[in-house]
C-alpha cells in the first residue's frame, strides 16, 4: 500500500510539472533606433525556459531603467497546451537631447551649461556627449559610457573635462576670489551581479590651478597654487526604484568612498571622503509623486579654502545662489510633492512644492558646529515641470525658492531633468 501511494505521488508530481508552460520563442516589438542585440542583453528570460512571470517582470524593470526605453510590457501567445510565445513591447525614447542648466552666480551674473547628449548612441545604449560651460569663465568636456559592455553585468564610463571658474572663499570675514582651472580625466568600471546591486571603481587624474584675482595674499591664502592629483573612488549602488513613464516609486541608496593623493593648500597630501545618498519615491493616487532625498557626507577635516562639500543652487538648496558656503561635512535633506496638472499622450505638466534643508561644517571646525545657526540653511518654494514623455530626461525644470530664515533671500533656478 505504501509503495502504491509513493508511486502515485511521484506520478502526480511528474504530471504537474510536465504541464508547466515553456517559452517556445521570444520576440521584441517597437524598436526604432535600438539594435536588437542591445535589447537582448537586458532580457534574461531565454527560449525553452519555464514560464516565470517574476523573471519577466525583472526583465521589464531592467528595460525601463534604460534611457532608450520610455515604457515596456509583455504579452503571451499560446501555441500549444505547454508552449507559449513571449512578446516584449517597447515604447522607445528619443535620446539625442540637449543638456541645459542656467543659474545665477557671482555678482548677479548668469551661468550656464550647454551640451548635447545621446543616451542611445549608435542604437547600442552607449552614452556620448560634449558640453560647454560658462560660469564667469569658460569650460568644456566630453563623456562616454558603455553600460552593457559584453553583457548587462559589466560596463564602463569615462570623462575628460576642463573647468575654469571664479571661485569665492571666505576667510576670517574676508572674501577672496580665485581664477580656478580644473583638468579632469577619469575612467570607471562597474559590475552588476543582480537587478538591485551595482559595484563601481573609478580611477582619475586631476590638475588644479589657482590664481588669486581679488584680495591680498597671506600665508594661508597663496597668490598661486598648482597641483596634480590621483583619484580612487569606490561606489555601491542599491537600487529598488521602479518607473512608469515619468513617475517613480521605491528606494535607492548610493554610498561612495573617495581617496585623492596630491598636495592641497597647507601641504596636506592625502584626502578622503565618505558620502551617502538615499532617495525615496512614492506614487500618490493617479497624479501625485512624493520624492525625498537625504545626503550625508564627511571628509578629512583640515583648514583649506576649498573643502569637499558646498551648499549650492544646483546641488542641494534651490534659490540660495552659487557656492554660497563650503565645508568638510554636509547633511542635506530635500523633499517635494509633484502633482500632474496636465497630461496628453506625449506631454505632461507637473506643479511642485519643495523644502530644502542643509547644514555644513566649516573646514577645520569640530563636528558640533555643523548645525550652528550660521551653518544651516532652510529654503522652501514652488516650481513647475514640463515633461516630454518620449524623450529621455526632457524635463524643463523651473523652481523659485526663498529662505525660511531670511525671506528676502530668494532665487530662481532653471534646469533640465528633475532636481533629484
Q: How far apart are CA 183 and CA 162, in angstroms?
A: 5
- The count of other CB atoms within 10 Å of the CB of residue 304 is 19
Domain boundary among 92, 123, 152: 92
The DSSP bridge partners found for residue 193 are none
Under the banding of pLDDT at 50, 70 and 90, the label for residue 167 is: confident
What would the pLDDT profile of 83-129 be if each residue is shown by its tens digit? 999 999 999 999 998 888 777 777 778 888 899 999 999 999 999 99
> What backbone phi and psi angles, to 5 degrees, belong to 172?
50, 45
**3-class secondary-structure state, position 92:** strand
% helix, strand, coil for the chain, step of 5:
10, 60, 30
**Are 320 and 377 in contact, with CB atoms under 8 Å apart?**
yes
User: In this model, does residue 148 exceed pLDDT 50?
Assistant: yes
Query: Grid coordinates representing 174?
Result: 574676508
**Of 17 and 346, which is predicted with more confidence?**
346
Please report, for the domain that includes residue 279, its CATH number.
Answer: 2.40.160.50
Under the banding of pLDDT at 50, 70 and 90, the label for residue 279 is: very high
**Are 293 and 327 in contact, with CB atoms under 8 Å apart?**
no
pTM, full prediction: 0.85
User: In this model, does residue 18 exceed pLDDT 80?
Assistant: no
Please report, for the domain that includes residue 25, its CATH number.
Answer: 3.10.20.310
Q: Report the candidate in 128, 209, 206, 226 with the shortest Cα–Cα distance to residue 167.
A: 209
Could you tell me the sign of the dihedral formed by the alpha carbons of 116, 413, 166, 330, in that order?
negative
- Both 209 and 232 in one domain: the answer is yes
Domain boundary among 92, 109, 139: 92
Query: Grid coordinates representing 19?
Result: 504541464
The CA-CA-CA angle for residues 198, 200, 205, to 5°, reads: 160
User: In this model, does residue 292 exceed pLDDT 50?
Assistant: yes
- Both 85 and 101 in one domain: the answer is no
- Both 157 and 24 in one domain: the answer is no
Between the two ends of the chain, the Cα-to-Cα distance in Å is: 67
Phi-psi region of 172 (alpha: psi -120 to 50; beta: other; left: phi over 0): left
- Both 216 and 261 in one domain: the answer is yes
| Residue range 52-71: mean pLDDT, rounded | 97
- Both 73 and 200 in one domain: the answer is no
> What backbone phi and psi angles, to 5 degrees, belong to 195?
-70, -30
Q: Report the candidate in 201, 63, 204, 207 with the shortest Cα–Cα distance to residue 143.
A: 204
Q: Match 569663465 to its residue by C-alpha cell.
A: 137
Q: How far apart are CA 123 and CA 126, in angstroms?
A: 8
Q: How far apart are CA 275 and CA 254, in angstroms?
A: 8
What does the pLDDT read at residue 4? 44
- Both 267 and 139 in one domain: the answer is yes
Please give the mean pLDDT across all residues of the chain.
Answer: 92
Q: Report the candidate in 234, 315, 317, 241 with the shortest Cα–Cα distance to residue 279.
A: 241
- Considering only 261-270, 359-368, 405-414, which range has the smallest mean pLDDT? 261-270
- Both 253 and 268 in one domain: the answer is yes
User: In this model, does residue 2 exceed pLDDT 60?
Assistant: no
Q: How far is CA 263 from CA 144, 207, 309, 344, in A?
A: 29, 10, 18, 55
What would the pLDDT profile of 318-339 be if each residue is shown by its tens digit? 999 877 899 999 999 999 999 9
- Both 234 and 312 in one domain: the answer is yes
Q: How far apart are CA 132 and CA 103, in angstroms?
A: 15
Q: Which residues of 322-351 are buried (b: 16+ CB within 10 A; e: fewer)?
A: bbbbbbbbbbbbbebbbbbeebeeeebebe
Using the 8-state DSSP alphabet, how is residue 11 labeled? H
User: In this model, does residue 11 exceed pLDDT 50?
Assistant: no
- Both 225 and 352 in one domain: the answer is yes
What does the pLDDT read at residue 7? 46
Q: How many domains does the chain have?
A: 2
What would the pLDDT profile of 377-395 be if each residue is shown by its tens digit? 999 999 999 999 999 989 9
| Residue range 171-197: mean pLDDT, rounded | 93
Q: Match 523652481 to its residue by C-alpha cell.
A: 399
Query: Grid coordinates representing 368?
Result: 558640533
**Of 222 and 292, which is predicted with more confidence?**
292
Q: How far apart are CA 361 and CA 381, in angstroms?
A: 25
Q: Which domain holds residue 27?
A: 2-92
- The count of other CB atoms within 10 Å of the CB of residue 220 is 12
333, HSE (Cβ side, Cα atoms, 13 Å): 4
What does the pLDDT read at residue 14? 43
What does the pLDDT read at residue 16? 46
**Are 96 and 118 in contact, with CB atoms under 8 Å apart?**
yes
What would the pLDDT profile of 62-90 be if each residue is shown by its tens digit? 999 999 999 999 999 999 889 999 999 99
- Both 269 and 338 in one domain: the answer is yes
- Both 165 and 62 in one domain: the answer is no
- Both 283 and 178 in one domain: the answer is yes
Domain boundary among 72, 92, 112: 92
pLDDT over 70 percentage in the chain = 95
Q: Report the candidate in 117, 116, 119, 130 with the shortest Cα–Cα distance to residue 92.
A: 119
Amino acid at each position: 500500500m505504501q509503495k502504491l501511494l509513493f508511486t502515485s505521488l511521484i506520478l502526480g508530481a511528474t504530471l504537474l510539472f510536465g504541464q508547466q508552460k515553456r517559452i517556445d520563442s521570444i520576440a521584441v516589438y517597437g524598436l526604432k533606433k535600438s539594435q536588437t542585440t542591445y535589447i537582448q542583453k537586458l532580457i534574461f528570460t531565454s527560449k525553452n525556459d519555464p514560464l516565470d512571470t517574476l523573471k519577466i517582470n525583472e526583465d521589464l524593470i531592467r528595460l525601463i531603467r534604460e534611457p532608450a526605453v520610455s515604457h515596456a510590457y509583455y504579452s503571451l501567445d499560446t501555441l500549444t497546451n505547454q508552449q507559449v510565445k513571449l512578446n516584449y513591447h517597447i515604447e522607445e525614447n528619443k535620446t539625442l537631447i540637449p543638456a541645459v542648466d542656467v543659474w545665477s552666480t557671482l555678482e548677479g551674473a548668469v551661468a550656464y551649461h550647454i551640451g548635447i547628449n545621446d543616451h542611445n548612441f549608435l542604437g547600442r545604449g552607449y552614452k556620448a556627449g560634449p558640453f560647454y560651460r560658462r560660469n564667469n569663465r569658460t569650460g568644456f568636456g566630453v563623456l562616454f559610457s558603455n553600460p552593457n559592455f559584453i553583457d548587462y553585468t559589466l560596463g564602463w564610463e569615462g570623462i575628460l573635462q576642463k573647468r575654469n571658474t571664479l571661485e569665492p572663499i571666505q576667510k576670517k570675514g574676508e572674501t577672496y576670489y580665485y581664477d580656478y582651472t580644473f583638468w579632469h580625466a577619469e575612467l570607471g568600471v562597474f559590475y552588476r551581479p543582480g537587478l538591485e546591486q551595482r559595484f563601481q571603481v573609478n580611477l582619475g587624474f586631476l590638475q588644479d590651478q589657482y590664481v588669486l584675482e581679488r584680495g591680498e595674499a597671506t600665508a594661508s591664502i597663496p597668490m598661486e597654487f598648482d597641483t596634480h592629483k590621483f583619484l580612487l573612488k569606490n561606489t555601491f549602488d542599491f537600487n529598488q526604484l521602479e518607473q512608469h513613464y515619468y513617475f517613480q516609486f521605491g528606494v535607492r541608496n548610493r554610498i561612495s568612498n573617495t581617496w585623492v593623493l596630491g598636495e592641497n593648500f597647507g601641504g596636506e597630501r592625502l584626502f578622503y571622503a565618505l558620502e551617502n545618498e538615499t532617495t525615496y519615491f512614492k506614487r500618490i493616487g493617479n497624479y501625485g509623486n512624493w520624492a525625498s532625498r537625504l545626503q550625508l557626507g564627511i571628509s578629512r577635516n583640515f583648514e583649506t579654502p576649498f573643502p569637499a562639500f558646498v551648499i549650492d543652487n544646483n546641488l542641494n538648496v534651490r534659490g540660495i545662489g552659487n557656492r554660497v558656503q563650503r565645508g568638510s561635512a554636509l547633511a542635506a535633506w530635500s523633499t517635494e510633492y509633484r502633482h500632474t496638472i496636465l497630461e496628453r499622450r506625449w506631454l505632461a505638466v507637473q506643479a511642485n512644492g519643495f523644502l530644502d534643508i542643509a547644514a555644513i561644517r566649516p573646514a577645520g571646525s569640530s563636528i558640533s558646529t555643523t548645525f550652528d545657526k550660521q551653518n544651516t540653511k532652510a529654503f522652501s518654494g514652488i516650481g513647475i515641470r514640463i515633461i516630454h514623455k518620449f524623450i529621455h530626461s526632457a524635463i524643463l525644470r523651473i523652481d523659485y525658492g526663498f529662505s525660511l530664515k531670511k525671506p528676502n533671500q530668494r532665487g530662481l533656478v532653471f534646469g533640465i531633468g528633475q532636481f533629484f
